Structure 1
């Protein structure tokens, strides 16, 4: 399960107090110690995905110009290169668009404070009732490490449990100490606000609560099972994710999650593939499609002012047949990569 800015805002709004001072999270890049044959499998699985390589792109259509920045949602000093390159462009833009702006994050925090049932199911079966004793023991230990005692965790909604498992305990302590995940999205917003450039959200503040509607009980439970393997070595997973992002190959981590679940989740390959399909459809594809009209409308407004548009969103929204780049291409936009020295693959 991958965090988006709206999920990050939700997470930051409800993060429990965690023990110990935050320190830099340490881990190993799992690709570096992976058997060569498995790494080759991951590359083969990702082969052919449109716009797989690259983080930064230009889309042009007539007089309209859009700069698209694939983001990583947690703090990293390597973001400085991105901001150095694109900061002046944000200063001159008509508008910055992000998944969730300050207003959306504030509304989300307010909702969390007023309605705990958004995250906690007060009536349905508890997680210990939905999982075997062995599964619940492992799951409750993982959530305990993330500051959630079993008595609280037992009634959390499954989608939120999956979100929590996707963040290492160390990273949670960092966020709890700083009060902000410090990701590229927030840096973009800070730069825009400093330059008095308007910030507009790509989607409503309550999007997160609609993403997982309609899932069956088994789909919810398998979502947690698929997320569990990476939770066991979350710091290593976080390092691997960050390195894959800054190398310009975020899709590789998506396939890594698939193969890790094949090996360690207890689900069949077919069940894992179904979970990955559901996650991609709910977290990426549907949202990507809903963003295109607002993007095109904002691009036209910007062109009317003789300016460009800058957009930042999670890097996994860029590639794929239903990724933002291919969707724009299908609507007549010319797509070209932007190379930032020292940052990943230029496309």
Structure 2
């Protein structure tokens, strides 16, 4: 398999953020067949999270304006609805802010090609040595389906394994065929470049390689264990996550991963909760907090030109006490939803 991941694709998988379109990966929506009491638990776990429903927002403060778009990192024809609504805003914006622009994605791909040790551990115990025989058998089979032979998979770094488990085999084949994820992020970037609107990255290109520093061996191994249940029925999981995104239920995705791991990972609830806490802290909260300053700086600069800015990033970065929307609200911004017919309204 050619390893040409983009930063957005890596983060999408690692944060359970929305693998690809149900129209291409055939499966069933697991919410439709879920026991009513479990679905009620998921909704209860989600209901108290700030800004848990909705994908598109406006933030305003003292004449400054930011349009915030929660993106889905893979191809789907429904992205056309969002582009019809927000394309003109990009055309007249002072800048488009994204997780990673073309330059950052190119640097990431180049670095991973030039230095395989970024994702492969040439020293220390292998994954078969770190996991039980049954765990390694299941894991190696899942990675084989994703184009990674056991001899290579055995030395992959645990964070990269978790990333790969988050992408269904059918989605990997589609991305390989397309040569691109085709996600909303890239459509936004293409529109900005066509309009000669500057594209600004919210973080350095090598962020992904620093996120998991300091984790213990047990935490790394549990990260794989928590990711394994979804890999067992990847196409169904893909359809479920896709439908949740286009219904605007971003945080339901996160809680679904938690409860699925409760049931099937072999970890205790406390261990799963700790994994979820670590993942949220490293993959979302810390990054969200680091994005606020560049967003505010870009908005202030744009306001001086009589313009606004557009910011597009994975939808799971929007909700929560440490989500981008609440962080901006805490700094005096007024937050209001923006509707797009056919997205985020149960459609």
Could you tell me the TM-score, scaled by structure 2's length? Answer: 0.94
**Counterpart for residue 198 of structure 1:** 198
Whole-Å separation in 2 of the counterparts to 1:49 and 1:113: 40
Structure 1 segment 234-313 matched on structure 2, within 5 A: 234-313=234-313
Whole-Å separation in 2 of the counterparts to 1:283 and 1:82: 25
1:132/1:144 CA distance change after superposition, 3 Å: same
Deviation at 1:345, TM superposition (A): 3.7
1:317/1:11 CA distance change after superposition, 3 Å: closer
The one-character-per-residue Cα deviations of 1:287-339 (angstroms, maximum 9, x if unpaired) are 00000000000000110111110000000000000000000000000000001
Contact between 2:250 and 2:315, CA under 8 Å: does it hold in 1? yes
Deviation at 1:9, TM superposition (A): 6.2
**Counterpart for residue 51 of structure 1:** 51
Whole-Å separation in 1 of the counterparts to 2:207 and 2:112: 14
Number of residue-to-residue matches in the alignment: 333
**Counterpart for residue 6 of structure 1:** 7
Contact between 2:27 and 2:239, CA under 8 Å: does it hold in 1? yes
Deviation at 1:195, TM superposition (A): 0.6
Whole-Å separation in 2 of the counterparts to 1:231 and 1:41: 22
Q: Secondary structure in 1 aligned to 2:100?
A: coil
Whole-Å separation in 2 of the counterparts to 1:132 and 1:37: 33
1:88/1:321 CA distance change after superposition, 3 Å: same
Whole-Å separation in 2 of the counterparts to 1:238 and 1:264: 17
Unaligned runs of 5+ in 1: 13-22
Whole-Å separation in 2 of the counterparts to 1:296 and 1:252: 29
Structure 1 segment 49-198 matched on structure 2, within 5 A: 49-198=49-198
1:289/1:191 CA distance change after superposition, 3 Å: same
Whole-Å separation in 2 of the counterparts to 1:42 and 1:172: 28
**Counterpart for residue 321 of structure 2:** 321
1:216/1:273 CA distance change after superposition, 3 Å: same
The one-character-per-residue Cα deviations of 1:120-157 (angstroms, maximum 9, x if unpaired) are 00001100000011110000000000000000000000
Q: Secondary structure in 1 aligned to 2:270?
A: helix
- 2:226 paired with 1:219: no
Whole-Å separation in 1 of the counterparts to 2:149 and 2:276: 28
**Counterpart for residue 35 of structure 1:** 35
Structure 1 residue runs of 4 or more that deviate by more than 4 Å after TM superposition: 9-12
Contact between 1:60 and 1:334, CA under 8 Å: does it hold in 2? yes
**Counterpart for residue 16 of structure 1:** none
Q: Secondary structure in 2 aligned to 1:310?
A: strand
Q: Secondary structure in 2 aligned to 1:151?
A: helix
Could you tell me the TM-score, scaled by structure 1's length? Answer: 0.94
Whole-Å separation in 2 of the counterparts to 1:316 and 1:9: 14
Whole-Å separation in 1 of the counterparts to 2:205 and 2:189: 16
Contact between 1:58 and 1:338, CA under 8 Å: does it hold in 2? yes
Deviation at 1:24, TM superposition (A): 2.1
